[in-house]
């Protein structure tokens, strides 16, 4: 999938999911658009999926991933599974059990549970970031898993992501020197993807609030290719994609971006029709003045289906924006 995206100058939407309806929304959109894609789970999604009594991020994520494998059997597109923004202090309790779960499936002759994991050590000095990244890349390579790393910090704060609202501006832009250092540290071990930052901010903001500079990606790519050859080209990841302009998104594709995370927008598109449902059916949902309500409108399926359908529309838009629509390689593998 990554090779096809690099060669075709397109990228995959990476859709954060936390439930069966959100999984189904992503699958529906990918299939409808004939686009391959990526589904990913944060530690917060795993906690949510495991239930309020336990909040076991690893177990909940395994449950979601196993469900995704079964649901995917219905569709003729390729979907890779990823984890999102695992910070170093929780890696042993989160990433290690997930890598072990993939190892167990492989031992049974089954497909990987996950094709990709993200270790977000961007809050550490670069040398410490690379030290732990090398450790986890070696673990991943053993099981044909790609590790996603980050250098520089994505601003904002979302579901455990490393940035904060007051992240210093200079930290939002990865330097060319840091990009070279990432290549030199990790390329001898195996294949990885790289979230280099170029002003990205988690969440969604009014136009003009976020200052992206995609040229940073081009400078870093040019530097590593000039020094180490074309085979050194990064598989780049665009974090904080919600709310970005189409112009900025398309520019990054030419610089080696093969994955763009979409979370905030899809959360809104899922929730918006549910809010409308509640307002339009308040008497039936809330049993006002002692009435019996209307089961058809307080049945969770009645409004979750609307959320699923609307979220699928936003995922489809992401496929169009990233030029992956119509480019599934499902029949070629």
Specify the pTM: 0.92
Find residue 133's DSSP bridge partners: none
> What is the spatial distance between Cα 244 and Cα 211, in angstroms, rounded to a whole number?
10
Domain count for the chain = 1
Per the CB < 8 A criterion, the answer to whether 256 and 235 are in contact is yes
**pLDDT at res. 199:** 81
Q: Identify the CATH number of the domain in which residue 220 sits.
A: 3.20.20.70
Helix axes 300-321, 246-253, angle to 10 degrees: 60
Q: Number of helices (H) and strands (E) in the chain: give both, helices first.
A: 13, 8
The pLDDT tens digits for 118-166 are: 999 999 999 999 999 999 999 999 999 999 999 976 544 455 554 444 5
Q: Which of 206, 122, 205 is nearest to 161 (CA)?
A: 122
Residue 167 DSSP SS3: coil
Identify the H or E element spanning 27. Answer: helix 20-33
- Domain that residue 54 falls in: 2-332
The set of catalytic residues is 84
**pLDDT at res. 170:** 56
Q: Which residues of the chain have pLDDT under 50?
A: 155-157, 162-165, 205, 207
What Å distances lie between residue 179 and 15, 217, 308, 331, CA to CA? 25, 9, 38, 35
- Can you tell me which residue has the tokens 């910090």? 153
What lies within 8 Å, CB to CB, of 281 at 6+ separation is: 294, 297, 298
**Angle formed at CA 175 by CA 169 and CA 179, multiple of 5 degrees:** 135
Output phi, psi for 258, to 5 deg: -120, 0
**pLDDT at res. 162:** 46
């Amino acid at each position: 999938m990554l090779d096809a995206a690099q060669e075709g100058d397109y990228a995959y939407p990476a859709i954060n999911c936390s439930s069966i309806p959100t999984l189904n929304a992503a699958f529906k959109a990918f299939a409808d658009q004939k686009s391959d894609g990526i589904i990913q789970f944060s530690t917060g999604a795993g906690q949510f999926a495991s239930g309020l009594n336990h909040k076991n991020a690893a177990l909940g994520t395994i449950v979601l991933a196993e469900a995704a494998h079964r649901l995917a059997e219905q569709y003729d597109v390729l979907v890779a599974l990823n984890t999102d923004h695992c910070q170093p202090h929780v890696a042993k309790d989160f990433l290690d059990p997930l890598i072990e779960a993939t190892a167990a499936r492989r031992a049974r002759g089954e497909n990987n549970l996950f094709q990709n994991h993200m270790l977000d050590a961007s809050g550490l000095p670069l040398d410490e970031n690379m030290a732990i990244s090398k450790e986890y890349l070696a673990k991943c390579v053993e099981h044909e898993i790609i590790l996603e790393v980050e250098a520089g910090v994505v601003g904002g704060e979302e579901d455990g992501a490393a940035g904060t609202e007051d992240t210093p501006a200079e930290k939002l832009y990865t330097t060319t020197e840091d990009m070279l250092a990432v290549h030199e540290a990790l390329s001898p071990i195996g294949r990885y993807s790289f979230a280099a930052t170029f002003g990205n901010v988690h969440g969604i903001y009014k136009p003009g609030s976020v200052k992206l500079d995609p040229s940073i990606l081009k400078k870093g790519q040019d530097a590593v290719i000039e020094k180490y050859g074309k085979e050194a080209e990064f598989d780049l990841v665009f974090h904080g994609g919600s709310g970005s302009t189409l112009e900025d998104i398309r520019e990054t594709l030419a610089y080696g971006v093969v994955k763009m995370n979409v979370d905030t927008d899809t959360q809104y598109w899922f929730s918006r029709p549910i809010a409308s449902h509640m307002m339009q059916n308040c008497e039936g949902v809330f049993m006002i003045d002692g009435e019996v309500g209307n089961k058809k409108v307080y049945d969770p399926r009645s409004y979750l289906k609307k959320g699923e359908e609307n979220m699928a529309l936003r995922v489809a838009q992401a496929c169009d924006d990233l030029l992956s629509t119509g480019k599934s390689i499902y029949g070629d593998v």
